Amino acid sequence: MSDLYGYKVKDINGADVSLEDYKGKVLLIVNTASKCGFTPQYTGLNELYNKYSSDGFEVLGFPCNQFGKQEPGSDEEIKSFCDISFKINFPMFSKVDVNGGDAAPLYDYLKAEAPGLLGSKAVKWNFTKFLVDKDGNVLKRFAPKDTPESIEREVKELL
């Protein structure tokens, strides 16, 4: 597929969602995990979302268990963890693979559009972030260590 908006994904409750629903918005697409050293970034992601969602910004969270088995729970358990521990307001989606033969097609697209260091396509760890502009262009990949606070300026510039 050659267009971000052509992808369909499942939300954390199992409902089909078309990325077309996010057309015209700035997106930060993140692979998440509940038992990772970067899990506290949920707080910053939620704060960024709360601050700019009324301006057309969305954080899309995709749980993934491929890195250190740090997201072992079911979608229901993940949703409960996010609600109780972080009071997440941004959309969370069904658990996906981001690398390998079973990778979600959306992630294959994101990796091709915004390769990592030295052109690497693979996502290296939890909380890798992809920044997408209002026209659906994947502009940049951020490493897990890049905090939501550190990328706020770039988000704000796109809004």
Across the chain, the runs of DSSP E, i.e. the strands, are: 8-10, 16-18, 26-32, 57-63, 129-132, 138-142
Residue 101, number of CB atoms within 10 A of its CB: 5
Active-site residue identified among 36, 45, 103, 114 = 36
| Number of Cα atoms under 13 Å in the Cβ half of residue 4 | 26
SS3 of residue 84 by DSSP: helix
Active site residue 82: no
C-beta of residue 67 within 8 angstroms of C-beta of residue 74: no
The CA distance from 125 to 68, in Å, is: 9
Catalytic center residues:
36
